[in-house]
Chains A and B, each alone.
Chain A
Amino acid sequence: MNPLIALMVVIPIACALILNLFHTKERTVKIIAIVVALALPIIPLVTSYGLHYFGAYSTLAQSPTLAQGLPGFITGSALNLFHMGIVYSFQSAQQLFIFIIGLIAFLAILTSLSEIKKASGVYAYLMFMGVAAVTAVLLSDDIFNLYVFFEIAAIAQVGIVIASKIKGNYETALKYMIIGSIASPLMLLGIALLLGVTGNVNITDIAYSLKNGLVNPQNPVLLMACGLIVFGWMYGSGLPPFHTIKSALYSKALPHGAAMLQAFSVFTLVAIGIIILRIFSYLSFSHVFIIAISLAAMIFSITMALMQTDIKRIIGYLAVGELGYIGLGLGIGTAFSITAGLFQAVNEAIVTAFLFIGFGTILYKTRESDIRKLGGMMVEMPKVALLVLLAGLAMAGVPPFNIFQSKLMLIQASLNAGIPELGIIMILLSIVTFMTFMKAFYAVYMRPKPRDLEIKNTNIPKATIFSMVVFLIVCIILGLFPQIATGLLQGLANSLI
């Protein structure tokens, strides 16, 4: 038992509730938000690996006192090995994911508090609640508990968009909720079917039941459950056909909010993708489907990004397209490809947050995000332009940045698996990603300034520059020393095959 594991979820929730109570006291909100946000990436670093049992009970096999006196048909069966309550599992991979989401949350909250004139307790509440929910999704070994936090994360995302005060935000948030009201209950139905067939909601126990023949793995109800859970996964992550609404959601949030939203999507994709592999990897079709839907996400999102004229929508579509790389890593299904996919998830979350906050400076200075109405920003803020250029190079997979390493690993994994076509498509779409970014960069920074463009005569907050520099440093460190991340992810990848 390790109480710090539960605190990774409890602290942001408690902070969110406190911030909501003090929402009128600006200074208090700022102090509490920054202190707790700073703690978010630190807690996973000081927490030791292990399991946390809510209710303090593990399994009967590990609790002889409880097992004493129980009839033999319980202690002598698989029930002896099943978990009695909700279990949170914290291993090296979760440590890295929660550290990264904590770091993004800290920098996004820091940026938001410096860019927004009046600190909003409600906005900070939603950000912390989202972080808590996604952290729980990453930790939980209980599929129903995971669903509850999956829903909280979805509501927090809608709330962040509503609180953003951007034209059209209410409409987009409402659409996301309506679409969520179709997809989420179906995912819950999938979980209910899984519970009905296996009699269990603990993911380890479900996988044990399927592997050891306690349940017929070819039961049609299980196949239906798998389909519905995959459908919920597509919704939570923004894979097609949800890529349109997901990119719209990013574009209707403030840049720091969008940085958080994309991190939520990336880690939701990872968390539920891992669960799909843990439970349904015996179905070879699940791998085929994950590869197909990931390819669709990459092709449709990256080509759609080329067609957009709004910077935030361009980055939104590119972010959804990059999710496909993660999916490919999971779908290929070798230990190396899964490690590469998980590494890509870490890198993508950092680089996309970097880009959202970087291009957010344009919105801060001009209140404009349409590239047709922008130009000349290189003269206005050359240092920021350089940082944004480096972020774009990182996203495209240019060395020595982190995404170069993960994309290279993914291409190697596809070649090793005998599917060179995937490698070709990944290279092709990386080139197009770079082209899309350069189109936006040229239009915003290098083209002459349009006469009617009004630029605010205020400096970019130092906190924003600081956030971008931290992201850049992380990109370079992970690019030069990828083993820092891959070493932490290999254990999880090996356990999934």
Chain B
Amino acid sequence: MSLYDIIINRIKKVQTQGEEEEPVTSIDASSTLAAEITLLSSLLVAAIMLRFFSNALMIIAVLLVIAIAVFAMPIMPKLKREQNDSLNGMVFYVILALGIVTVLFYWGSLNV
């Protein structure tokens, strides 16, 4: 199976799971909301740190986080589904992280 197929299947799986969303209790809802706000505010502050590399990159990243906040909320339930205990999901992200780490270390060490 090609990497493209794996990614497509993965996206389909996430979308299917999304349709089977269970109703949440009030504690779950308030926890999700708090997690959502924490995630977005942390990412927003973290994006500002990109000013050390490039101001343009920082502006793009901040606008991207704001766009995500406006158009993709709620993010946490999706993130929770993605970070589940499925072996397939874990292996997918481990291999993805390996690719990112090796590429970044080669590119980043020569350019940062």
Contact with A along B74-112 (1 / 0, CB 8 A): 001001100111010011011111100110111011101
| 10 residue pairs, one from A and one from B, having the closest CB atoms | A227-B105, A285-B108, A241-B93, A306-B35, A303-B35, A285-B112, A227-B102, A299-B42, A285-B109, A241-B97
> B2-10, B12-20, B43-51: which one contacts chain A?
B43-51
Closest A residue by C-beta to B36: A303
Closest B residue by C-beta to A432: B38
In the bound complex, residues from chain A placing their C-beta under 8 Å from that of B39 are 299, 303
Cβ-defined partner of B83 (8 Å) among A179, A300, A421:
A300
In the bound complex, residues from chain B placing their C-beta under 8 Å from that of A283 are 105, 109
Cβ-defined partner of B98 (8 Å) among A231, A248, A298, A439:
A231
20 A-B contacts, Cβ less than 8 Å apart?
Answer: A175-B90, A218-B110, A224-B105, A226-B105, A226-B109, A227-B101, A234-B101, A240-B97, A244-B85, A244-B90, A245-B85, A245-B90, A283-B105, A285-B109, A299-B38, A303-B39, A304-B80, A306-B31, A432-B34, A443-B27
In the bound complex, residues from chain B placing their C-beta under 8 Å from that of A372 are 25
B55: CB under 8 A from chain A?
Answer: no
A429: CB under 8 A from chain B?
Answer: yes
In the bound complex, residues from chain B placing their C-beta under 8 Å from that of A289 are 101, 104-105, 108
Looking at chain B's contact residues, is the secondary structure mostly helix, strand, loop, or mixed?
A: helix
B16 shortest CB reach to chain A, Å: 20
Cα A121 to Cα B27 with chains together (Å): 42
Q: Is the CB of B105 within 8 A of A306?
A: no
A45: CB under 8 A from chain B?
Answer: no
Size range of the chain B interface in the assembly: 35 or more
Cβ-defined partner of B91 (8 Å) among A172, A179, A230:
A179
B103 shortest CB reach to chain A, Å: 8
Using a CB–CB distance below 8 Å, which chain B residues touch chain A?
25, 27-28, 31-32, 34-35, 38-39, 41-43, 45-46, 48-49, 76, 79-80, 83-85, 87, 90-91, 93-98, 101-102, 104-106, 108-110, 112
In the bound complex, residues from chain B placing their C-beta under 8 Å from that of A64 are none
**Are A429 and B84 CB-contacts (below 8 A) given A284-B112, A307-B31, A419-B49?**
no
Size range of the chain A interface in the assembly: 35 or more
Cβ-defined partner of B49 (8 Å) among A175, A178, A183, A421:
A421
In the bound complex, residues from chain B placing their C-beta under 8 Å from that of A444 are none
A74: CB under 8 A from chain B?
Answer: no
A476: CB under 8 A from chain B?
Answer: no
